[in-house]
Chains A and B, each alone.
Chain A
């Protein structure tokens, strides 16, 4: 089991560029989510999915899109990168239902210049 795999680990973008952060899990988890972590702060929820074909917004969704076409994959798209999106992004997955452990990917450190 690889668990939750994120790519890339590091990325530098210019303002206005778009890109997709990849997230894949091999644990057959229904729930997947994206968080951003800014220096000295906790993790804030961007978008989440409770199953293939179902997505919803979290606390800070503006500037990001998601889709969930398969159980395994949950990509996060930055539509037009801004310096305020400089952050570390974590993808997480869990079985779902009544409160189970969330497993995190290794993170993607994104810098927007």
Chain B
């Protein structure tokens, strides 16, 4: 089955700095890579996703890149703000299968 590794497990940045979270996956058949944000005590919510036919996708301060050859994808948050503090999860799936999640990254943005 699919295996997703996520690093780092904890990330602390100063407000205004950039944050980068990296994930690797094992199944070359995976073709969908979403990123979820989970605030304390809340449900995970999708913030951005990318499909395997695209190398990069951007939405305002958030961007995701995908390298299919190396089987890794990354989340980039620019100009971080205190409200970006949360746990972020990457995931991978292919058509017909459910999501396999990484272990999560706790992002702390210091004012």
Contact = CB atoms under 8 A, between A and B. Distances in A.
Contacts of A96: 96
Interface residues of A, number: 25
Given A50-B96, A99-B93, A106 B43 contact: yes
Given A59-B1, A104-B45, A107-B43, A45 B104 contact: no
Contacts of A13: none
Contact of A104 (B6, B9, B43): B43
A104 B44 contact: yes
Given A59-B1, A99-B51, A99-B93, A45 B43 contact: no
A44 interface: yes
Interface in A35-74: 35, 40-45, 48, 50, 58-59
Contacts of B51: 99
Interface of B: 1, 4, 6, 9, 31-32, 34, 42-46, 49, 51, 89, 93-96, 98-104
Given A44-B101, A59-B1, A105 B32 contact: no
A41 B98 contact: no
Contacts of B102: 42
A98 B52 CA distance: 11
A44 B4 CA distance: 11
